[in-house]
Amino acid sequence: MRPIDYTAAHDVKGALQTLAARPLDSAPIGGGTNLVDLMKIHVQNPALLVDINGLPLAEIQEVEGGLRIGALVRNSDLANHPLVRERYPVLSEALLAGASPQLRNMATVGGNILQRTRCAYFRDISQPCNKREPGSGCGAMEGFNRMHAVLGTSAQCIAANPSDMSVALAALDATVHVSGPQGERTVAFGDFHLLPGSTPERETVLRPGELITHVSLPASRFAARSRYLKVRDRASYAFALASAAVAIELDGKTIKDARVALGGVGTKPWRSAEAEKALIGQPADEVHFKAAAAAALKGAKPRAHNAFKVELARRTLVRVLALAAGLA
């Protein structure tokens, strides 16, 4: 790891001022599970770390039937919170499917939303990578791309977003609350992450010097009937080959409302409006689950080694819809 300066902030205002004073080479640090890792392999090289763990952003509060989740809430605490388990089971399941217990005890909600890709070409500084070094090329495109995205890709980048939690947040209509030099603003979760396009180095709408302070989840009719299913090379402690978060509201056997998001296959946490459209108003049965899965993967663009992900994601989605509907 390269030499760094370190300072601890004690309130949001102080943190923002410290970050604003060195906008080009500072970074906030929360859990550090992703940032310290990337600093050790020289993929991220901030010269100043601003420790934000002293900020009062570690509370989970019930607000108007929904939840307001501080950016510094640890993944394990969020996963095991009684209200999350009861009202948003998909979120609890997604969090517990991610990383290891030790990492979940450190990792934070804000950091998880900003988690960088696990693309091996991004993590190896001897390889070209348009995300790490714009214009340098992409080793994955013609390389070993078994783990890579099939949805939302561009000619510059096919790196998959690795976060499990973000897939659940995408399905739950979450809102990201941000604080910065220009004040506070909110961003719908679906708008927070950017497609790679020709600027894969820009991953979110977060501007330099801005911090995520909270995430809010609305009260929901459908979230209680929600599930997360993750498929990976081994049964635990691995990134998703494909995953799916779904939430459905049933009226008898008819699907009244639905939320569908995919992980492991998208360049960002992948909400599928097409799949939702294929489900709403239809009977909750395998025929319509398969139709939704086909709709969700319709635009998939597989590369040499990851074509299997298209069928795997379809089957994952059909399976988790059956679980959510109580049919499996």
Partner 1 sequence: MARSPLKGVEDSRPGGFACMSDPKQPPHGDGAEREALSALDDGKTTRREFVGTAVVGGALLATGLLSLPANAKGSAKAPGLEGPPVAPVPLRLQINGKEHALEVEPRVTLLDALRENLGLTGSKKGCDLGQCGACTVLVEGRRVNSCLTLAVMQQGKQITTIEGLAQGDALHPMQQSFLAHDGFQCGYCTPGQIMSAVGFSREPWGQTDADIREGMCGNICRCGAYPHIVAAVRDGRGKKA
Residue type, 175: T
Give yes or no for residue 327 binding partner 1 (CB under 8 A). Answer: no
Identify which range of 102-110, 146-154, 165-173, 302-310 contacts partner 1 by CB under 8 A: 102-110
If the CB atoms of residues 127 and 216 are measured against partner 1, the closer one turns out to be 127
- Minimum separation from the CB atom of position 263 to partner 1 (A): 14
Give yes or no for residue 49 binding partner 1 (CB under 8 A). Answer: yes
Binding mask 264-303 for partner 1 (x = CB under 8 A): ----------------------------------------
Give yes or no for residue 82 binding partner 1 (CB under 8 A). Answer: no
> Which one of 80, 154, 199, 204 is in contact with partner 1 (CB under 8 A)?
80
State the number of binding residues for partner 1 (CB under 8 A): 42
Give yes or no for residue 321 binding partner 1 (CB under 8 A). Answer: no
Pairing status of strand 48-51 against strand 5-8: parallel
Give yes or no for residue 92 binding partner 1 (CB under 8 A). Answer: yes
Give yes or no for residue 102 binding partner 1 (CB under 8 A). Answer: yes
Give yes or no for residue 41 binding partner 1 (CB under 8 A). Answer: yes
Give yes or no for residue 44 binding partner 1 (CB under 8 A). Answer: no
Give yes or no for residue 236 binding partner 1 (CB under 8 A). Answer: yes
Give yes or no for residue 45 binding partner 1 (CB under 8 A). Answer: no
CB 139 within 8 A of CB 128: yes
> Which one of 132, 148, 177, 230 is in contact with partner 1 (CB under 8 A)?
230
Ranges within 126-155 binding partner 1 (CB under 8 A) = none
Identify which range of 72-80, 145-153, 201-209, 248-256 contacts partner 1 by CB under 8 A: 72-80
Measured CA to CA, the distance from residue 204 to residue 112 in angstroms comes to 13
- Minimum separation from the CB atom of position 258 to partner 1 (A): 19
Give yes or no for residue 4 binding partner 1 (CB under 8 A). Answer: yes
> Which one of 99, 113, 275, 295 is in contact with partner 1 (CB under 8 A)?
99
CB 317 within 8 A of CB 262: yes
SS (H, E, C) the chain: CCCCEEEECCCHHHHHHHHHHCCCCEEEECCCCCHHHHHHCCCCCCCEEEECCCCCCCCEEEECCEEEEECCCEHHHHHCCHHHHHHCHHHHHHHHCCCCHHHHHHCEHHHHHCCCCCCHHHHCCCCCECCCCCCCCECCCCCCCCCCCCECCCCCCCCCCCCCHHHHHHHCCCEEEEEECCEEEEEEHHHHECCCCCCCCCCECCCCCCEEEEEEECCCCCCCCEEEEEECCCCCCCCCCEEEEEEEEEECCEEEEEEEEEECCECCCEECHHHHHHHCCCECCHHHHHHHHHHHCCCCCCCCCCCHHHHHHHHHHHHHHHHHCCCC
If the CB atoms of residues 2 and 24 are measured against partner 1, the closer one turns out to be 2
Measured CA to CA, the distance from residue 231 to residue 254 in angstroms comes to 28
Give yes or no for residue 76 binding partner 1 (CB under 8 A). Answer: yes
- Minimum separation from the CB atom of position 174 to partner 1 (A): 21
Residues within the interface to partner 1 (CB under 8 A): 1-6, 8, 29, 32-33, 36-37, 39-41, 49, 51, 53, 76, 79-80, 92-93, 96-97, 99-103, 105-106, 227-230, 234-238, 323
